[in-house]
Chains A and B, each alone.
Chain A
Amino acid sequence: MAQLSIRSVSKSYGAVQVLDDVSVEVEEGSFVVLLGPSGCGKSTLLHAIAGLNPIDSGTIVIGDRNVTKLPARDRDVAMVFQSYALYPTMTVAQNIAFPLKMRGLDRRTSDEKVAGVARLLQIEPLMSRLPRELSGGQRQRVAIGRALVRDPRLFLFDEPLSNLDAALRTELRAEIKRLHQSIRRTMVYVTHDQTEALTLADKIVVLKAGKIEQTGTPLSLYDDPDNAFVAGFIGTPRMNFLKATVADDGKALLAGEARVDITHLATRLENGRAVTLGIRPEHLDEKDGVTLSLSVDVTEHLGSTSYVHGALASGESVVAERREDQPGFGETITLRFQSTRARVFDGEGSRIR
């Protein structure tokens, strides 16, 4: 049974449509990430789930209750904010106990629960401090504790790691993942960082300009994107897009000097049609297959591997992974890829399968 159903939710601010007929089903116990560039409506959607933003139309169901018209306090959700949103005049212990106090829990039960959460998050030594005496990572831990303490039906995370430095972000990301695995609660997580999305999610919902572009598991979005936007947004470095035309009665694509076999596509394309060919940097380092020659501008060495930035004869710029050698500026190298790795998109960016 779905723990959270968002059905045809729309919302606009004046003339700007921030959510346009968005529908998402979230299974009980799963971890769903709302992913998209800034301004895509992902935070608005999260606030709508929490009941902080009213929606114009559509329905939101949590568990078996239609909460569309309910205020935030009656929705039984907990939320972690990007800015931590700790109450500045309360100690850590008081912050964590606040949701319990608002629900009128007696002091003893409340103290026990707060202590339990503190133990789980290893913040016991901080309990009597004020938020301003904590580091960013500690603050976010406390904020997570405040969400955990009430044992809500649904956890919402609004870019919780964006204010932290890179090392801490990785650490807390793993911690959130561990937390989810141990408590198995439904979590909805908003981020613009695709690494967070790929590592944390059971299911990713990619949003752009208030519309869902694609919903799926991290791997399916990576391997089998529905459109050029998702293909480009997921994966670092991003997918290379090359102009191509259909040839040989729809059996091949011509992209510069390369000839890519597309007989594996179910769709038959007419000769001469202009399409876009997408190929990921990590698929350009094969032993054989279609060849492209690249004149190298920059090589980034990442230790275990390298990324080569350069241009094709057509002038299109391409990034390619290089595991064996590290070509320098001005060199011309040959890239090889399997034609089944190529993804084909039409003029509007929709995938041709």
Chain B
Amino acid sequence: MARRALFYVGLVLLLLAVLFPLYWVVVTSFKTTRDAFAIPPVWLFSPTLDNYRTVFANRGFLSAFANSFTISILSSALAVAIGSIAAYGLAQQPAELRRSKEKFILSLRIAPALLFVIPIYYLATRIGALNKHWLLIAAYAFVNVPFAISLLITFFDDIPKELRDAARVDGAREFRVFWHIYLPAARGGIVATLILCVLFTWNEFFVALVLTGRDTQTLPVSITSFLTFQGIQWGALTAAATLIMLPMIVLGVLVQGQIVRGMTLGSVKG
């Protein structure tokens, strides 16, 4: 009984630590500047949409939203497309052949982004690609591919090997086995991987800071424009932050269900 109580107390503390900052951001975005800085803090106040008006009036923010959207969706789709083919190939290999390749892929995931960003920046300046969307799409796809491979391999491994044998005897070439059998069977895993890649790309700051130009700025970079020399516009900043979080919270809820579904779908015996 006491252990149970302790468990729930711990849970509440943990939830507070995680959720309170989020709550504060969202609440601040509806406050006037005076309420936002009131000491002691005001808990009850009359909400205002002024901050959101400021944000939506900001051209830079809107185009950053569009940039983030395009770049994260396209780069994730590219990463999953490449990753799923690679993962399929790896999943079909005998364990001893696979291991070294999987280690290499893991090492790519561990390597800091800095390692890739500097050479990419150098190359991009030389070919004049710094202010182009495709540069970011390619860079993020590159960063996401190792992640996509290692996640998708687990989904493909759950699919019985006999399915490939059966399809090959039935007359399918390797790509059609992948396309007609493995891809549909791992659908849940594919969607989950795609969403996780989008989440990562959407939130990513460092690569974006280095590689984006004026026209390609993504949200995490653009939001820094509210940190001005005249001071930080807390109201607008928190409103922007809330707007950035919103789609990802929706996706986060989706990904939970998809990952669970993906796992169970894979384990269903043919």
Contact between chains at B270 and A131 (CB < 8 Å) = yes
Interface residues on A, range: 20 to 34
- Whether A102 contacts B171 by the Cβ 8 Å rule is yes
Q: With an 8 A cutoff between CB atoms, is A73 at the interface?
A: yes
What chain B residues lie within 8 Å of A102 (beta carbons)? 167, 170-172, 176
A39–B1 Cα gap in the complex (Å)?
A: 54
Partner of A83, one of B162, B184, B187: B162
| B246 CB to nearest chain A CB (Å) | 33
Q: In the complex, what residue of chain B is closest to A149 when comparing beta carbons?
A: B170
Which chain B residues (144-166) contact chain A, with CB distance < 8 Å?
Answer: 160, 162-163, 165-166
Q: What B residues does A83 contact at CB under 8 A? A: 160, 162, 269-270
Q: Which of A129-187 contact B (CB under 8 A)?
A: 131-132, 146, 150, 156
Q: Which of B247-261 contact A (CB under 8 A)?
A: none
B-facing residues in A60-98 (Cβ within 8 Å): 71-73, 75, 77-79, 81-90, 98
Q: Taking the complex as formed, is B168 at the interface, i.e. its CB lies under 8 A from any CB of chain A?
A: yes
- Report whether B169 and A52 are in contact in the complex, using a CB–CB cutoff of 8 Å: yes
Question: Is residue B180 within 8 Å, beta carbon to beta carbon, of the partner chain?
Answer: yes
Evaluate contact between A88 and B168: CB separation under 8 angstroms.
no
Indicate if the CB atoms of B180 and A79 lie closer than 8 Å: no
Chain A residues with CB below 8 A from B169, complex form: 50-52, 72-73, 75, 77-79, 156
Nearest chain A residue, comparing its CB with the CB of B187:
A89
Q: Does B185 contact A (CB under 8 A)?
A: yes
Question: Which of under 10, 10 to 19, 20 to 34, or 35 or more describes the interface residues of B?
Answer: 20 to 34
**Contacting pair B162 A72 (CB below 8 A):** no
| Residues of A contacting B265 in the complex (Cβ-Cβ under 8 angstroms) | 88
Q: Are B171 and A103 in contact (CB under 8 A)?
A: yes
Per the bound structure, the CA–CA distance linking A115 and B50 in Å amounts to: 67
A54 at the interface (CB under 8 A from B): no
Is A99 interfacial (CB-CB < 8 Å)? yes
Chain B residues, CB < 8 A from A103: 171
Closest A-chain residue to B186, C-beta based? Answer: A89
B263 to chain A, nearest CB (A): 14
Rank and list the top 5 A-B pairs by shortest CB-CB distance, nearest first.
A102-B171, A85-B162, A89-B184, A85-B166, A99-B170
Q: List 23 A-B contacts (CB under 8 A).
A: A51-B169, A52-B165, A71-B168, A72-B168, A72-B169, A73-B172, A75-B169, A81-B162, A81-B165, A81-B166, A83-B160, A83-B162, A85-B166, A86-B270, A87-B181, A88-B163, A88-B265, A88-B270, A89-B181, A98-B172, A99-B170, A102-B171, A150-B171
